[in-house]
Amino acid sequence: MAPSFRDVQLTSTLGANAGDDLEEVRLLDAYEKDDVENSGKLAENLKRIQVRVTGMTCAACSNSVEQALMSVNGVVKASVALLQNKADVAFDTSLVNDEDIKNAVEDSGFEAEILPEPSISHTKSHKTLLGQFSIGGMTCAACVNSVEGILRKLPGVKRAVVALATSLGEVEYDPTAITKNDIVSAIEDAGFEASLVQSSEQDKMILEVTGISSELDAQVLEGILSNLRGVRQFRFDRISSELEVLFDTEVLGSRSLIDGIEGESFGKFKLLVKNPYTRMASKDFEESSKMFRLFTASLFLSIPVFLMRFVCPSIPLLYSLLLRRCGPFQMGDWLKWALVTIVQFVIGKRFYVAAGRALRNGSTNMDVLVALGTSASYFYSVYALLYGAVTGFWSPTYFETSAMLITFVLLGKYLETLAKGKTSDAIKKLVELAPATALLLVKDKGGNNTREREIDALLIQPGDILKVLPGTKIPADGMAVWGSSYVNESMVTGESAPVLKEVNSSVIGGTMNLHGALHIQATKVGSDTVLSQIICLVETAQMSKAPIQKFADYVASIFVPTVVVMSLLTLFGWYIGGVLGAYPEQWLPENGNYFVFALMFSISVVVIACPCALGLATPTAVMVSTGVGANNGVLIKGGDALERAQMVKYIVFDKTGTLTQGKATVTTAKVFSGMDRGEFLTLVASAEASSEHPLAKAILEYARHFHFFDEPSAIEDAQNHEKNPKFSGWLLDVSEFSAVPGRGVQCFINGKRVLVGNRRLLTENGVAISTNVESFVVELEESAKTGILVAYDIALIGVLGVADPLKREAAVVVEGLRKMGVRTVMVTGDNWRTAQAVAKEVGIQDVRAEVMPAGKAEVIHSFQKDGSVVAMVGDGINDSPALAAADVGMAIGAGTDIAIEAADYVLMRSNLEDVITAIDLSRKTFSRIRLNYVFAMAYNVIAIPVAAGVFFPWVKVKLPPWAAGACMALSSVSVVCSSLLLRRYRRPRLTTILEITVE
């Protein structure tokens, strides 16, 4: 029955439900460096949509779809992703609409479906709303800047952040001044595709309904929705049991909507929020199942034809039955014709339809070749039968060639759908990590009693208090508010050791609670969570095209016309050669002629030269590689990043937090005045209490430990004082505090100036540094420690020595990179002596010290001048310009969000060994891509001459058309299976790289 759709008139408006503000989304973004030339300003009335395209099997297919779309009047840009079966289309809404786009794809021979907006959890309205928008069509940083600029100029927009890699925009806006539809329209007017993903005013949900067993049940459901206040529109598909609801968030919340439907049905109906990834997986499964049905039907009908040609002549009884006359033809001819006609025009109809539409659009693809090859053999066979019936001269027929060709092509397509499905296993595994349900703690109206309620995890809202039982997954990112337990966070960090979680500890959704019960407060839900961002990042990377693929796409686009020309040349060459007597008649098949002899060579050339494998060589390898990287804690932001990483010649390491642990500790405190040691530390700690610098925190911890070493209660008080210095009992009052970038801090205590920092800070303020102090500081620096000088009332009173321990793997990783042929460089804002001491300890010879944050990018550029590929590894905000400037930016996962946004690789485990993994995986991926091109081209380079009969005069070997079809299918399967072997990738062992023998 057709789906029903109703518009429901609102009867009244209820008060808005209270909700907490969404927290800022941590966007994992890539800084694209290519395609900048394509980022020009688009026309104002453009719109973008995504279309699911079913039936594409090779680069020629995707090119055919692109050409069909671009031929539509009003389409400005069209981009097709082969493996994802998606097309991204930008078009002028005054000239063309969504339905025209769909028809254009279908006219090119493929099935099309306009993709709807995804359904994700949401929260309720409040004064300012935070919306997340999907933005399609961005190709570079210029596009990002353009969208951000437009959004920030809109009236009512408070804040706008756009991420290129995730194609997401986050906008904080005033709903009284602007609506989410206005924001979408503004983005679309700029020439980009836009749709609302989620916000605190999300008003659309897609639900799966169970309990509908009859037409009456469906009518009951529709009646409930019609009477439910706040529901604007709904659409229930009785075939798929999917319910799409549009509702007023001022009246209904997501949980209220579901509760209302389930309550009114007295529990008969159960509703489940549809996960967009699950829906896409279902579509992929349907396509694979459809292709399998076509293949099995074709095989079932083709086997008898094959047996009649090659097996039955050896079985006298059966053969005699086939030779029996039935009208003008033999019984065997009738059977072959009937069976092959079904295969050719019923099962193989899709090839004719697709080929016809492609040719009408002036393009060619694999379907054109299949239609040409099968039609030639089929119609010649029919002609041979009719000619024999009229003249009595019976030529051999080749019905089995047509049937087996279609069968092998369908087999290849089916195996490709299976293999392409396996390449996205990483996303499926990540989606499976997300918990399905959560235990929500709800207080009664009086606020005295709390009860538990199981809800769908997609319905969690920021601020919800959730109970996490031992042995269950944490349902959302948040903060522990009660309890203590150990949590396995290996899915993010890669570390198997459980992590202790207590009150105020942060937790990550999808990680496993091992022992005790926890109560957590959800802070990030839906697409905001770390797991969702990882999924989105992997998906974005898998859809990207490596530069090497552009050449393959170009070759594939001209490949089909070239093959047709080669086929015609083969046909005329052999035919004319036979007519002119260039070869003897003994070469001809029994009762055959020169034309039939030439035709078989021509058909074999058409079939074996299909460019399917060429189009799959790169994207399948990239998809598998990004998935393998994610499983190993290395997030790759695209095929272009993979291609650059395998050519890295220099790796520039930041020092603090990258080579070092980033946990500075005070190792030495020496007073050079008559001041008491405790008084000195109190003075320094008071000055540093307002600073956010890691060294300041280390000084505070050292001073607190000195004062309260044996008094736990005092320690607790001191921790509280750190959070709120105003109520401190031991820190001194500070005035006129200021941080001096690159130098230190200064303030006034008891009316006297206090300076805490490096030599430059003191000398600029007229403080003299005596010889013995200078010697002491030099000694600290030569032992890889940072010397911090303290001046009080224009007199130097003491020095602190701060050490940041190296990561234990730093030295062996540097040595391993050297063995791999990569030169390492260290860059730091620290002084020369400390930098040289650290570099010597880890084995780095090239050191750039006392470099300001902006200067790190200049260091990168200095190595790029000779064309070398340079990678940068960093973690801090000050590393983001260098990460963006580098050819390959690698951000430590535990670093800042800004650094992660600027990088091409995210090393989630914060382990330097992952730098080696990233480069090694990139190299192995491109070795696999090169091997894939060998597989893709070998069949053509070697088999096309054989198919064309080049070697027939000497070795008398022919490649029958049906065997050519098998080789064509095998070439695609070989490429995909070659890529799938990357799933067996294992992280390189440092002992192997360093050639260390372990006894």
Q: Which residues are marked as active site?
A: 654
Tokens matching residue 367: 């379907």
843 phi/psi in degrees, rounded to 5: 95, 20
Q: How far apart are CA 778 and CA 494, in angstroms?
A: 40
| Helix ranges restricted to H, 827-912 | 832-842, 853-864, 880-885, 897-902
364, 384, 366: which is closest to 376 by C-alpha?
A: 384
N-terminal to C-terminal alpha carbon distance within the chain: 72
- Cα–chain center distance at 201: 27
CB atoms inside a 10 Å sphere around CB 174 = 13
Which segments within 255-381 are labelled E, that is strand? 270-273, 325-326, 329-330
Given a contact cutoff of 8 angstroms between Cβ atoms, the answer to whether 506 and 500 are in contact is no
- Which residues lie below 8 Å from residue 749, measured CB to CB, with a gap of 6+? 683, 686, 687, 732, 733, 734, 735, 792
Rounded to whole angstroms, the Cα distance separating 752 from 975 reads 74
Long-range contacts for 704-712 (Cβ within 8 Å, ≥24 apart)?
Answer: 706/677, 706/678, 706/681, 707/678, 707/681, 707/682
- In angstroms, rounded to a whole number, what is the distance separating the alpha carbons of residues 867 and 74? 41
CA 26/CA 524 separation, integer angstroms: 9
Sheet bearing 665-671, strands edge to edge: 665-671, 796-803, 786-792, 752-757, 744-749, 735-740
- The rounded distance, in Å, linking the Cα atoms of 871 and 890 is 7
User: Whole-angstrom Cα distance, residue 399 to residue 307?
Assistant: 12
Burial class from Cβ neighbours inside 10 Å (0-12, 13-18, 19+) for residue 142 reads: middle
DSSP letter for 684, please.
Answer: H
- Residue carrying structure tokens 């399917």: 612
DSSP secondary structure letters along 770-796: -HHHHHHHHHHHHTT-EEEEEEESSSE
Place of tokens 């109906």: 269
**Considering only CA atoms, which of 376, 379, 364, 370 is closest in space to residue 409?**
370
Spatial contact of 268 and 250, defined as CB atoms under 8 Å apart? no
Closest C-alpha among 393, 392, 396, 391 to residue 333: 396
